[in-house]
Amino acid sequence: MILTYAGAAIGMGLAVIGAGIGIGRLASGTAEGIARQPSAAPQITVATNLSLFLLEGVAILGLVFCLVIVFLIKS
Amino acid sequence: MHPVLAIAAGQAPEPQAATDAAGTVFDAGDVIIKHVANGEHPLIHLPTLWGIDFSVTKHVFMLWFVAAIVFTTVTVLVRRFLAQPRLVPSLPMNFLEAGVEFIRDDVVLPNVGKKWLTAWTPLLLTFFAFILTANAIGLVPIFDVLGLLDHYVLHTPENSFLQHLIHGGTTATGNFNVTAGLAIVTFMAIIVAGTKAHGFIGHWKNLVPGGLPWLLYLLMVPLEILSMFVRPFALTMRLAANMTGGHIALLVMLSFVFIVAGLAGSWIAGVGVGLVVSVPLAAALSGLEIIVVLVQAYVFTLLSAVFIGMAIHSHH
């Protein structure tokens, strides 16, 4: 039983680490792009928005499946 | 009585919530789940047809409530605006117009294109208005106030409509069934958009690019079909998990008060922890929740617009 909770907790942590790294790289790319070409800021923002939300959605999916493990697996 | 309502009423929580001595311990998990989920007793019992229980639960009631609010607000504002001899927008109409123009010009137009703009703007505006209102109502503690009113003033009997109304969470979009319904609408909209733009066969042929070796088709067709279903599923879970997660975090902060009071045995410790830790943190979290409410409504609308646009412009 402990292993179930430990597995779910480790899974959640890894999902959040992945999201953090991914969104950090996206943000750094965006900031650099806007710094090089401030007049292109709206286009760069729009191009970043979509990937940002998709990545966040993936992280939330991971968290939700870990929650499913905790609440719905009867041992 | 609900321990959070006791604190909200400015009095000490009843002894049974603070110490073990009277017999009932504060069960944080139970309280939190009950405060976020659908509520155990349906408000209006309806018969079970074909294996589906049609009773009206709290989230169904909130769906109708939110729909009524959005419908009456928008209709009254716009009718009153259009009935004037000279079209001068009032202050609420200005806000509505700013919102509509924002969605139409910055979300729908870049993704869907000018040709299909008037076809898809109403749907996306409806998504935005409905999801924003449904998310925001979760932040307004009106049903907790009704519960206080009921406990101290009205004293309705145990099984009344009001008693069932105050249990459970008010965020309809925190329930993944509700957001699944919205995502199914997006799923249908993607297929309809592709069909109207390229014909029925054309839409399905556009899923995979043409002119590839047949071995790649063997890989790409199942992948594209899978992604067709994964996208609405991700829309569902993104909105539901964001809404529920925020509320659970807020309730955990507030539960520290009662857990500490239970551990220390006196309610003063609980109130101390509340004043120093819980209430400021809960206030900050509520501020973050407001941002999340706006962003999640915008993201759902934006992603629906992007997917519809991808179905329309898929011949590139």
**pLDDT recorded at residue B316:** 55
The answer to whether A61 contacts B234, with C-beta atoms less than 8 Å apart, is yes
Instruction: Give the mutation candidate from B231, B238, B242 for the A interface (greatest A CB count, under 10 A).
Output: B238
The answer to whether A53 contacts B242, with C-beta atoms less than 8 Å apart, is no
The residues, any chain, with a CB within 8 Å of residue A31's CB and separated by 6 or more, are none
Among A15-29, B1-15, B49-63, which is the least confidently predicted range? B1-15
Among B83-87, B162-166, B250-254, which is the least confidently predicted range? B162-166
pLDDT of B76 strictly over 90: yes
Closest CA of chain B from A13, distance in Å = 15
**pLDDT recorded at residue B186:** 96
A53, A58, A63 member nearest B299 (Cβ): A53
A1 touches chain B (CB under 8 A): no
B49-64: pLDDT as tens digits: 888 888 888 898 899 9
CB atoms within 10 A of CB B78: 14
B218-273: pLDDT as tens digits: 888 888 898 899 889 989 999 998 898 888 888 888 888 888 888 887 888 888 88
The answer to whether A64 contacts B242, with C-beta atoms less than 8 Å apart, is no
A46, A53, A60 member nearest B241 (Cβ): A60
- The pLDDT of B165-177, averaged and rounded, is 84
Give the best-scoring range by mean pLDDT among B99-103, B162-166, B242-246.
Answer: B99-103
- Using a CB-CB distance cutoff of 8 angstroms, which residues of chain A are in contact with residue B186? none
Give the best-scoring range by mean pLDDT among B1-5, B23-27, B229-233.
Answer: B229-233
A54 touches chain B (CB under 8 A): yes
Query: Mean of the per-residue pLDDT values for chain B?
Result: 84
Residue of A nearest to B107 (CA): A46
B192 touches chain A (CB under 8 A): no
Spell out the domains of chain A, with CATH numbers in brackets.
Answer: 2-68 (1.20.20.10)
The answer to whether B303 contacts A49, with C-beta atoms less than 8 Å apart, is no
ipTM computed for the complex: 0.74
The answer to whether A53 contacts B234, with C-beta atoms less than 8 Å apart, is no
Instruction: Give the mutation candidate from A48, A51, A61, A66 for the B interface (greatest B CB count, under 10 A).
Output: A61
- Using a CB-CB distance cutoff of 8 angstroms, which residues of chain B are in contact with residue A50? 302-303, 306
Q: Which residue has the higher pLDDT, B34 or B291?
A: B291
Q: Chain A to chain B, count of Cβ pairs less than 8 Å apart? A: 29
- Which of the four pLDDT bands, split at 50, 70 and 90, describes residue A71? confident
Nearest in space to B43 (alpha carbons), one of B31, B33, B55? B55
Yes or no: say if B194 and B203 are a contact pair by the CB < 8 Å rule: yes
Residue of B nearest to A42 (CA): B106
Domain boundaries of chain B, sorted by first residue: 3-312
The answer to whether B303 contacts A53, with C-beta atoms less than 8 Å apart, is yes
